[in-house]
Chain A
Amino acid sequence: MDDLPGGKTPRTLPRFSATFDPHSIAEIQRAASTGIYDIRGGGAKRKLPHFDDLLFLGASVSRYPLEGYRERCGSDVVLGTRFAKKPVCLKIPITIAGMSFGALSGNAKEALGRGASAAGTSTTTGDGGMTAEERGHSDILVYQYLPSRYGMNLTDLRRADAIEVVIGQGAKPGGGGMLLGQKISKRVAAMRNLPEGIDQRSACRHPDWTGPDDLEIKLLELRELTGWEKPIYVKVGASRPYYDIALAVKAGADVVVLDGMQGGTAATQEVFIEHVGLPILAAIRPAVQALQDLGMHRKVQLIVSGGIRSGADVAKALALGADAVAIGTAALIALGDNAPEWEVEYQALGTHAGAYDDWHEGQDPAGITTQDPALAARLDPIKAGRRLANYLAVLTLEAQAIARACGKSHLRNLEPEDLVALTVEAAAMAQVPLAGTGWIPGKTMGY
């Protein structure tokens, strides 16, 4: 046996398992120590097929573009044109997704309202009712109607601009809400009729209807309660989008909201977030197909969410057939969530800026996902609202830049024909050709 120089015997280098990787090992150790599953906020963190796997083709000889700074590219959208007397008119096709007071601080809710209103779009309540802050600072407010019905009352229902019946969300299709005791403050508890400080577990099924036939009657009741004025959205987590969207339309939805597994949550089991549901890329085309098969595409508007970060993501979602998108996690980041200025405090919590997801613990240094008055006071709702408005403007400008390059005078004119996919998987999910070919897996033979 040959020794290495110096007389040392060669040894196998330490080799980490691809299966039992460091994260998996740490999770086994944590589970064995605590006896409880991991709970966290945010959406799926694993690498998933996403909008990054799509490219726009842009104009050339066979298509001609619009001038980037001279020719108008519209961005407005009207939601709820099917039955509502007062549809929701937005200046941009980017809405703020439902996030509760309780999960978020009052200042954060106010900032979301300020930012959305400045951008000409809507924001949305969450599981816990409507606060004066968000109603007062939201020009267009969508009121969520959830299984828990926390804080649900006739006055707020009638002062909403639209109603969103939540059946599921992308982070946990089939799961109910969760808000741990650290965030059940006196005010949150009073709004939800719960004892202060308990771990709140929301139901996953609505208490007074089951199935699409019942849902149709529930939507009738909501319309009768509000004089048929307000658009009624139905929100589902992405799991069986073709059938779920078709049934929501059958039940009478004015707008359907489809949330992929990258969509965030305030608090859910990690195993639920990472292993249940579909990435939004895989869900849009089946949803659009359902609308088209029913002759309702563009008549019942489709909002998609789950991992929207940039104007490119917005443009791709619209090109695949959505009428608008919703952002949640990105909106919180724009407010100041995970900002580098809090790195020292993030480290004290055992994490880093950019990785912080223990939103359920209520210790957010940025003052957003907390009910601690001292932490919440760190967020200036006026400045944070401006940051959100800036971000929404950038998303819109980016999407318009892409649309003009594709020769579109309005964002709604983007279409699947503008797209190709970088991977076979993305081509199959988005039903657009693999780049450089005419091949759409499952659809065409290619060449």
Chain B
Amino acid sequence: MKPERKKGAGDAAVIDLGAMALRDVNALLQSLTPGTNEIAWRLTNPRGAHALAVGITAPALVSIEGPVGYYCAGMNNGATIDIFGNAGTGVAENMMSGIVHVHGDASQAAGATGHGGLLIIEGNAAARCGISMKGIDIVVKGSVGHMSGFMAQSGNLVVLGDAGEALGDSLYEARIFVRGAVASLGADCEAQEMTPEARAGLTALLRDAGCNAAPDEFQLYGSARRLYHFHVDHAGAY
């Protein structure tokens, strides 16, 4: 199901991370239930905190005003989380559903192993963006580093800039769309013709992420499926 941004209910509650412990902040956000009226939250002064706003299961609107450390929004399940700053390693790792929006750059392994939801990165993402993704959609408005989409299983990785070396190495059934240059493709990743279904999916993602780019500007990459079964003739690719 396509995630939607929900309207906030009144003024956001403000949490100053300089005055409240990480454990207490996370416990508060994790205690929100799906039917909560306490929807809007502003987290100020994050100072690069690790594991911030992880494991939220309510449709909350969480705005983080500053840079965050590792694993921000990890395993998010339904919340919409805006990060107004850069994000460290593993932002939105293993996300189940919801939206995580990084209004800056993201470090390594952004969206790693995500099962669902939408991750939007306004800037660049470092190495291994979308590694082992399992259904998440990721839109990177800048470029991505090497080994992005490594062993990606399902979902969509959209890159408006360039991609580093070994894109989509050992890819399964995820789709990768790149508008810019690709330094090199990884094992078993190949350029593929854009199908109407793929174009429709890309169009929707670009719209949801607020991008003006045209789908026809992108090249689709997918699995050649040559490594799905062991064979001696493919030993050099393993």
Residues of A within 8 A of B (CB): 34-36, 148-149, 152-154, 157, 180-181, 192-195, 198-199, 201, 203, 207-209, 214, 217-218, 220-221, 224-228
* Given known contacts A224-B51, A225-B75, A228-B23, A207 and B128 CB-to-CB distance under 8 angstroms: yes
User: Chain A residue with minimal CB distance to B173?
Assistant: A195
Instruction: Let me know if B199 is at the binding interface, CB within 8 A.
Output: no
CB distance from A266 to the nearest CB of B (A): 16
User: Chain B residue with minimal CB distance to A147?
Assistant: B132
* Interfacial chain B residues near A194, Cβ < 8 Å: 153, 172
User: Chain A residue with minimal CB distance to B135?
Assistant: A193
Are A217 and B232 in contact, with the CB atoms below 8 A? no
CB distance from B87 to the nearest CB of A (A): 12
Given contacts A153-B115, A199-B229, 10 further A-B contacts (CB under 8 A): A148-B132, A149-B94, A154-B55, A154-B96, A193-B153, A198-B228, A207-B128, A207-B132, A221-B70, A224-B26
Instruction: Let me know if B143 is at the binding interface, CB within 8 A.
Output: no
* Given known contacts A149-B113, A217-B51, A36 and B89 CB-to-CB distance under 8 angstroms: no
Q: Please report the C-alpha to C-alpha distance between residue A193 and residue B90 in the assembled complex, in whole angstroms.
A: 20
Are B54 and A224 in contact, with the CB atoms below 8 A? yes
Per-residue interface assignment for chain B, residues 17 to 34, with 1 indicating a CB less than 8 Å from any chain A CB and 0 otherwise: 000001100110010000
CB distance from B33 to the nearest CB of A (A): 14
User: Chain A residue with minimal CB distance to B31?
Assistant: A227
Residues of B within 8 A of A (CB): 22-23, 26-27, 30, 50-51, 54-55, 57, 69-71, 74-75, 77, 89-90, 93-94, 96, 108-109, 112-113, 115, 128, 131-132, 134-135, 150-151, 153-154, 170, 172-173, 227-232, 235
Are A208 and B131 in contact, with the CB atoms below 8 A? yes
B77, B131, B134, most chain A CB atoms within 10 A: B134
Are B57 and A203 in contact, with the CB atoms below 8 A? no
Q: Please report the C-alpha to C-alpha distance between residue A151 and residue B31 in the assembled complex, in whole angstroms.
A: 24
Are B27 and A209 in contact, with the CB atoms below 8 A? no
Q: Please report the C-alpha to C-alpha distance between residue A221 and residue B75 in the assembled complex, in whole angstroms.
A: 10
Are B74 and A221 in contact, with the CB atoms below 8 A? yes
User: Chain B residue with minimal CB distance to A154?
Assistant: B75
* Interfacial chain B residues near A220, Cβ < 8 Å: 50-51
Are B232 and A35 in contact, with the CB atoms below 8 A? yes
Q: Please report the C-alpha to C-alpha distance between residue A443 and residue B228 in the assembled complex, in whole angstroms.
A: 52
Are B77 and A193 in contact, with the CB atoms below 8 A? no
Are B30 and A227 in contact, with the CB atoms below 8 A? yes
Are A217 and B172 in contact, with the CB atoms below 8 A? no
* Given known contacts A217-B70, A217-B71, A154 and B57 CB-to-CB distance under 8 angstroms: yes
| 24 A–B contacts, CB within 8 A, in A order | A36-B231, A149-B132, A153-B94, A153-B115, A154-B57, A154-B77, A154-B94, A180-B230, A193-B134, A195-B173, A199-B229, A207-B109, A207-B113, A207-B128, A207-B131, A207-B150, A208-B71, A208-B108, A208-B113, A217-B50, A217-B71, A220-B51, A221-B71, A224-B22
* Interfacial chain A residues near B151, Cβ < 8 Å: 203
Main secondary structure of the interface of A (DSSP, over half): loop
Are B51 and A157 in contact, with the CB atoms below 8 A? no
* Interfacial chain B residues near A207, Cβ < 8 Å: 93, 109, 112-113, 128, 131-132, 150
* Interfacial chain A residues near B153, Cβ < 8 Å: 192-194
* Interfacial chain B residues near A226, Cβ < 8 Å: 55
Q: Please report the C-alpha to C-alpha distance between residue A152 and residue B114 in the assembled complex, in whole angstroms.
A: 9
* Given known contacts A148-B132, A149-B94, A149-B132, A181 and B112 CB-to-CB distance under 8 angstroms: no
* Given known contacts A208-B109, A214-B89, A153 and B228 CB-to-CB distance under 8 angstroms: no
CB distance from B162 to the nearest CB of A (A): 22
* Interfacial chain A residues near B227, Cβ < 8 Å: 201
CB distance from A178 to the nearest CB of B (A): 9
* Interfacial chain B residues near A228, Cβ < 8 Å: 23
Are A198 and B229 in contact, with the CB atoms below 8 A? yes
Q: Please report the C-alpha to C-alpha distance between residue A154 and residue B76 in the assembled complex, in whole angstroms.
A: 8
CB distance from B210 to the nearest CB of A (A): 26
Identify B89's interface contact among A148, A198, A208, A225, CB under 8 A: A208
CB distance from A191 to the nearest CB of B (A): 11
Are A201 and B22 in contact, with the CB atoms below 8 A? no
Q: Please report the C-alpha to C-alpha distance between residue A207 and residue B112 in the assembled complex, in whole angstroms.
A: 7
Identify B93's interface contact among A35, A153, A195, A208, CB under 8 A: A208
Identify B90's interface contact among A152, A181, A208, CB under 8 A: A208
4 smallest beta-carbon distances between A and B, as pairs: A35-B232, A208-B90, A208-B109, A221-B51
* Given known contacts A148-B132, A193-B154, A194-B153, A153 and B51 CB-to-CB distance under 8 angstroms: no
Q: Please report the C-alpha to C-alpha distance between residue A225 and residue B94 in the assembled complex, in whole angstroms.
A: 12
User: Chain A residue with minimal CB distance to B27?
Assistant: A227
* Interfacial chain A residues near B232, Cβ < 8 Å: 34-36
CB distance from A447 to the nearest CB of B (A): 55
* Interfacial chain B residues near A224, Cβ < 8 Å: 22-23, 26, 51, 54-55
* Interfacial chain A residues near B109, Cβ < 8 Å: 207-208
Identify A208's interface contact among B50, B112, B170, CB under 8 A: B112
User: Chain B residue with minimal CB distance to A227?
Assistant: B27
* Interfacial chain A residues near B77, Cβ < 8 Å: 154
Q: Please report the C-alpha to C-alpha distance between residue A157 and residue B128 in the assembled complex, in whole angstroms.
A: 24
User: Chain B residue with minimal CB distance to A180?
Assistant: B230
Q: Please report the C-alpha to C-alpha distance between residue A226 and residue B70 in the assembled complex, in whole angstroms.
A: 17
* Interfacial chain B residues near A225, Cβ < 8 Å: 51, 54-55, 74-75
* Interfacial chain A residues near B22, Cβ < 8 Å: 224
User: Chain A residue with minimal CB distance to B30?
Assistant: A227
Q: Please report the C-alpha to C-alpha distance between residue A35 and residue B132 in the assembled complex, in whole angstroms.
A: 29
* Interfacial chain A residues near B51, Cβ < 8 Å: 217, 220-221, 224-225
* Interfacial chain A residues near B26, Cβ < 8 Å: 224
User: Chain A residue with minimal CB distance to B155?
Assistant: A193
Q: Please report the C-alpha to C-alpha distance between residue A153 and residue B57 in the assembled complex, in whole angstroms.
A: 12
User: Chain A residue with minimal CB distance to B25?
Assistant: A224
